[in-house]
Amino acid sequence: MNSAKLTKKLWRQRYLILMIFPFIIWLIVFRYIPLWGWIMAFQDYKPGKPIWSQEWVGFKWFIEMFQDPDFYKAMRNTLVMSFMGLIFGFPLPIILALLLNEIKNIVFKRTVQTISYLPHFVSWVVVASLVSEILSPSGVINQILQKFHLTNYPVMFMADPRYFWWIVTFSDIWKELGWNTIIYLAAITSINPELYEAATVDGAGRFRKMINITLPGIMPTVIVLLILSIGNIINIGFEKQFLLRTAATRDVADVVDLYILTYGIGTGRYSFGTAAGVFKSVVSLILLIFANWFSKKATGYRMM
């Protein structure tokens, strides 16, 4: 494309280009400018002094982090909950989107969609309170278990470390299932309707259309979201773990973000917390590149 055609095309799309500027500014201000703070990971940072006047300590904080047993405990908890969320939480929005796409009653379809994605807008504070109440010794779950004589005594779900990872995983799935489904429903609308008409002529039923047309049609979207999910395995946040944990489940609840908050910012060791944050970012970048490369080799699809 020569410069004249490029200029003409840019002029035709000038309003679309102007619309992306606020997002570019947001990205620079909140994502790229803060990267300067990474140099704190190599300093013994003391508040009140200019950042260039701080004492440089090399990899001291990284070494200290890798020698801390609590870091490996937090890493274990993070990876286990991330993989549980990926295994159980990633396929369910795809399945729900495929099923909703087959519903012909528009009113019922919209109702199910609305009910399923409303929990996304509920604060984790409220969700944690609901989960704690439902799973309490006098909660609904224990009442059902005792009514059907499945147990003679209330099960202490919130105080037993064996249940914590499952509670966090399925609470998160319940909260985000409907919202994640929206992306796949949008991808389904881009599939050519003539493919379904041709399949009908060939005698294909709903299930066959779903497997041979709908699922392959949204596969690029599935792969991109899977790559992003793998890249964020170590970035699962800390809100749900922080709000659902108890004193008895602390050992299985602390994740890397909580570790940074507790042992870095909470104790005033800003350089230590920054070092842990840098480690998280580097691991996420490596996972993202590997997932993208593997997807290209295995499926032919890639994100970039």
Residue 103: CATH number of its domain: 1.10.3720.10
Mean residue pLDDT of the chain comes to: 89
Could you report how far apart the first and last alpha carbons of the chain are, in Å? 22
As a whole number of angstroms, the distance between CA 11 and CA 217 comes to 33
The per-residue pLDDT for range 132-152, each reduced to its tens digit, is 999 999 999 999 999 998 888
- pLDDT value, residue 227: 87
Least confident of 4-8, 73-77, 285-289, 294-298: 294-298
- pLDDT value, residue 207: 87
1 against 130, higher pLDDT: 130
Number of domains in the chain: 1
Whether 283 maps to a domain, the answer reads yes
Residue spans of beta strands (DSSP E) within 24-181: 43-44, 55-56
Q: HSE, CB side, 13 Å, CA atoms: give it for residue 170.
A: 6
Band (pLDDT 50/70/90 cuts) for residue 1 is low
Q: What predicted TM-score, i.e. pTM, was given to this entire model?
A: 0.86
Whether 98 maps to a domain, the answer reads yes
The per-residue pLDDT for range 122-134, each reduced to its tens digit, is 999 999 999 999 9
Whether 185 maps to a domain, the answer reads yes
Q: What range does the domain containing 199 cover?
A: 61-124+163-298
Whether 53 maps to a domain, the answer reads no
The per-residue pLDDT for range 255-287, each reduced to its tens digit, is 999 999 888 888 888 999 999 999 998 998 898
Whether 11 maps to a domain, the answer reads no
Whether 237 maps to a domain, the answer reads yes
Residue % of the chain over a pLDDT of 70: 98
Mean pLDDT of 12-16: 87
Angle of CA points 199, 200, 201, to nearest 5°:
90
Specify the 3-state DSSP secondary structure of 236.
Answer: coil
User: Residue 303 pLDDT more than 80?
Assistant: no
Band (pLDDT 50/70/90 cuts) for residue 51 is confident
Retrieve residue 230's tokens: 């793998």
Whether 277 maps to a domain, the answer reads yes
Whether 292 maps to a domain, the answer reads yes
Q: How far is CA 161 from the centre of its chain?
A: 23
Give 245's contacts (C-beta < 8 A, 6+ positions apart).
164, 253, 254
Q: Which residues pair with residue 55 across a beta bridge? A: 44
User: Residue 304 pLDDT more than 70?
Assistant: no
Q: Which residues pair with residue 56 across a beta bridge? A: 43
Q: Which residues pair with residue 44 across a beta bridge? A: 55
Mutual angle of helices 14-27 and 3-12, in 10-degree steps: 80
Band (pLDDT 50/70/90 cuts) for residue 82 is very high
- pLDDT value, residue 301: 66
Taking alpha carbons only, the member of 232, 236, 252 closest to residue 244 is 252
Locus of tokens 């295994």 = 87
Q: How far is CA 233 from the centre of its chain?
A: 8
The per-residue pLDDT for range 20-50, each reduced to its tens digit, is 889 999 999 988 888 888 999 999 988 888 8
The per-residue pLDDT for range 196-222, each reduced to its tens digit, is 889 888 888 888 889 889 999 999 889
Residue spans of beta strands (DSSP E) within the chain: 43-44, 55-56
